[in-house]
Structure 1
Amino acid sequence: MAKSSSSSTTAPDTVWLARGRHLGPEAERDVRRNLIALKAAGVLDDFLDLDPIEAARSTDLFPRDESAAAGPYARRLFEARWRVADGVTVRAQLTTYDPESRRVESEGVTWVLAAEAERAWEAGWPSPATVFWPESDQVAWDHARVPGVRLRTTNHLPKDDGELRRLLRGCTRQSWSIHVVVHEAMTPDARGQQPITRFLPPSLRHRVVEHRATPEQALIADFAMKRELGVGLPRGGAVVLPPAPQVPGYDAERHTVRDVFLDGTEPTELLQRITEFASLPRPLPADAEQVLTRLRQGWHLLTPDEELVHARAMVTWYARALEAMTASCDLYREAAESAHAALAEAPGGNDASRTPTPAAAEQDSSPLKALTKTLALFRGPNR
């Protein structure tokens, strides 16, 4: 996979993106089982299980360029199509990857997921992550790119200042997720230890990573966040972390909540701030842009109507290409005939046995000039 870098492209509001790591033994098996079950239940219209090399192969009917390739470390490519409210169609691709180095095999299987709807994405729609991955806690597909961080649970901040700052940098630079830090004013009971992300709308639950600071971490977490990110952490409160590069419209004061009661009740104000932040236009990381391009340019799961439209479009394209080739051949033929005519009109043009002498070479300059002028007529950009 390509390394993260900045991009000037704004993430489309029709798109849902996520990535993570699966630490179990058979990631692709877990995806297949979930897709098969959802199709049998009528949740999915259809799905495909593809070899990445075959998926990127170009054919006469489906010409593909390099943007359709998932890269040398890709293991498997899955596509799924389903419908949400009002019959809106969603198309999604999930690609699994081997580690780029054998030294990090313990990090599991990396996956990236891109989904796009026919209109602006709504938070109440089902999460594309649970289309491909089972919701069971026994399947460890929800590990974030940053080691030690998970999507579906609370993540306590490191106690060491240096580790804490490295975590903050890793979580906010070119992140595909929204990161929230909550300070526990006092050690919560079992209900308060449950992640607040469970109160979020379905499509936001797997885009938000919840970090917790213990009661004694109030000062160290506040200091580290101010130094690294320029935002503070209120005692007993929470803050939505600013990503890097900065998101236009982000306001540290606006996205800070002074009081969060971790008693199992719904933290309405914090949820509202997270939802507001999720709706802000965000720059699309370059690696996410590549994933989105593959979804759009390398899509395979066409409906019969889409296949017919595509076939007709290709017939039209080939017909126009053939017309252009025919016209080009006609021009070349006319040029060749004119050149032969010019040679025939030249003195001695048909005498192949004539041996030129220096004097004859000077005389031949005149027909050569005539031939040059004739060929010049066919040098135009359209010839």
Structure 2
Amino acid sequence: MPISSAARPTHPPTVWLARGRHTGPDPLDVVRRNLQRLKDAGTIDDFLEPSEAEEAPKPVFEARWRVPEGATVRAALTVLPMADTEADTGSEWVLAAEAEHPWDQRWPSPATVFWPDAPDADWDHDIPTGLRLRDANRLPEDDKAMRRLFRDAVRGSWNTHVVVHEAMTPDERGRRALAPLLPDGLRHRVVEHRAAPQQLRAVNWALKEAGVQVPRGGAVVLPAAPGKTDHDKDEFAVRSVFLDGSEPSDLVDALIRFAASSRPLPDGGEDAVTALREQWHLLTVEEELVRQRELVAMYADALDAMTKSRDLYREAAERAHEALTAYRETAAALPEQPQPPATPAGSPLQQLSRTLERLKGATRTRDTP
């Protein structure tokens, strides 16, 4: 995988980012009904629909709520139709949330603020791989297809991809996805790839480009960007994952450390964070009052600057007028300088000079043998 030459900004510790695909109909209505339900229940403080936003070029929902520690979270969900092709059906969504303090993965997931938290929901699909976020996605049997899958996961996904190897064929409990056992803040940002016992060699061959390896019966978290040199191959590897329905504590620890690491923002992530911070409309009464005061102060500063600029211009004009007056007075006091007489065209002196030149030329012509 090529190393990107452009250095991307790192993921802010206060920000929760996710991106996915909704494959069902009318996603805006799905979001609207879920937000209204949570507001009626008092789970969220308030929300704003796209039609209420000022000059919004994209359908953007805004919501505000408080986490158990009392910190306020502001989040914005953008929903856009994907390319009208057979492979890319449905709608793309981007969710950016930011808290007043560094994000705690035990806090409620922003995804379930906007989307319904139902097993059969249509919103939890990873875009580059097409896989579901809350499933144990079986790896393909074909080695090349597996390699392409990991390449797409590392290059284009906003989600965290983890590969889990089954040391032996698990029972019904072990075949279940690990997502319900993860903290809320990770549950909807992790794509689980499940490798069968006999696929270990093929999996590690396909992972060479990513620079990591999965231990037998363990798991590994894939890098956040291709060619990321500071992603140590063993730092986010787990030697054993017990697929017996119990909490995978070592894997959870690795995922939490990965989420807190200084990883680069995905392509488009910086725009989502900037839009959340600079294009926020859902203000409280206190925030609106502060905003109006800031606008008044800004206009006062602008007016003061214009007044000062006008006074400086007037002072400069007066000084220029005084200098011009002094110059004119000085010029008038100086004696008039005599001008050299101009030689009129065709004067006798010029005619005599031209005649002498012609005589010199004729003499040189006769002397020439």
Q: Aligned in 2, Cα 1:168/1:52: closer, same or farther, shift over 3 Å?
A: farther
Q: Deviations over 1:178-209 (max 9, x none)?
A: 21111123333332221112111111111211
The answer as to 2:27 corresponding to 1:27 is yes
2:187 to 197, 205, 208: 205
| In structure 1, C-alpha distance between the alignment counterparts of 2:5 and 2:128, rounded to whole Å | 17
Cα contact 1:249–1:280 (8 A) shared by 2: no
Residue in 1 that maps onto 2:349: none
Residue in 1 that maps onto 2:241: 260
Q: Aligned in 2, Cα 1:338/1:251: closer, same or farther, shift over 3 Å?
A: closer
Deviation at 1:144, TM superposition (A): 0.5
What is the number of residues matched between the two proteins?
329
Residue in 2 that maps onto 1:16: 16
| In structure 2, C-alpha distance between the alignment counterparts of 1:273 and 1:6, rounded to whole Å | 27
**SS in structure 1 opposite 2:92?**
strand
Deviation at 1:327, TM superposition (A): 1.4
Residue in 2 that maps onto 1:296: 277
Q: CA RMSD in A?
A: 2.6
Bigger drift between 246-255 and 200-209 goes to: 246-255
| In structure 2, C-alpha distance between the alignment counterparts of 1:28 and 1:294, rounded to whole Å | 19
User: Residue type of the partner of 1:306?
Assistant: E
| In structure 2, C-alpha distance between the alignment counterparts of 1:113 and 1:323, rounded to whole Å | 41
Q: Aligned in 2, Cα 1:246/1:282: closer, same or farther, shift over 3 Å?
A: farther
User: Residue type of the partner of 1:331?
Assistant: L
Cα contact 1:248–1:280 (8 A) shared by 2: no
User: Residue type of the partner of 1:23?
Assistant: T
| In structure 2, C-alpha distance between the alignment counterparts of 1:330 and 1:255, rounded to whole Å | 65
| In structure 1, C-alpha distance between the alignment counterparts of 2:7 and 2:52, rounded to whole Å | 25
1:187 to 153, 159, 169: 169
The answer as to 2:117 corresponding to 1:135 is yes
Cα contact 2:107–2:184 (8 A) shared by 1: yes
The answer as to 2:318 corresponding to 1:323 is no
Deviation at 1:6, TM superposition (A): 4.9
Deviation at 1:243, TM superposition (A): 2.7
Deviation at 1:245, TM superposition (A): 4.7
**SS in structure 1 opposite 2:54?**
helix
Deviation at 1:104, TM superposition (A): 5.8
Deviation at 1:343, TM superposition (A): 4.9
| In structure 1, C-alpha distance between the alignment counterparts of 2:192 and 2:14, rounded to whole Å | 24
Deviation at 1:319, TM superposition (A): 0.5
| In structure 1, C-alpha distance between the alignment counterparts of 2:27 and 2:218, rounded to whole Å | 37
**Larger RCO (CA under 8 A, 6+ residues apart):** 1
Cα contact 1:149–1:155 (8 A) shared by 2: yes
| In structure 2, C-alpha distance between the alignment counterparts of 1:234 and 1:345, rounded to whole Å | 91
Q: Deviations over 1:84-131 (max 9, x none)?
A: 1231100001101122x4336743211111111111111110000000
Identical-residue share of aligned pairs (%): 54
Residue in 2 that maps onto 1:103: 85
Residue segments in structure 1 that go unaligned for 5+ positions in a row: 57-73, 349-357, 360-383
Q: Aligned in 2, Cα 1:307/1:248: closer, same or farther, shift over 3 Å?
A: farther
Q: What TM-score do the two structures reach when normalised by structure 2? A: 0.81
| In structure 2, C-alpha distance between the alignment counterparts of 1:23 and 1:338, rounded to whole Å | 72
Residue segments in structure 2 that go unaligned for 5+ positions in a row: 330-338, 341-369
Cα contact 2:23–2:89 (8 A) shared by 1: yes
Cα contact 2:219–2:241 (8 A) shared by 1: yes
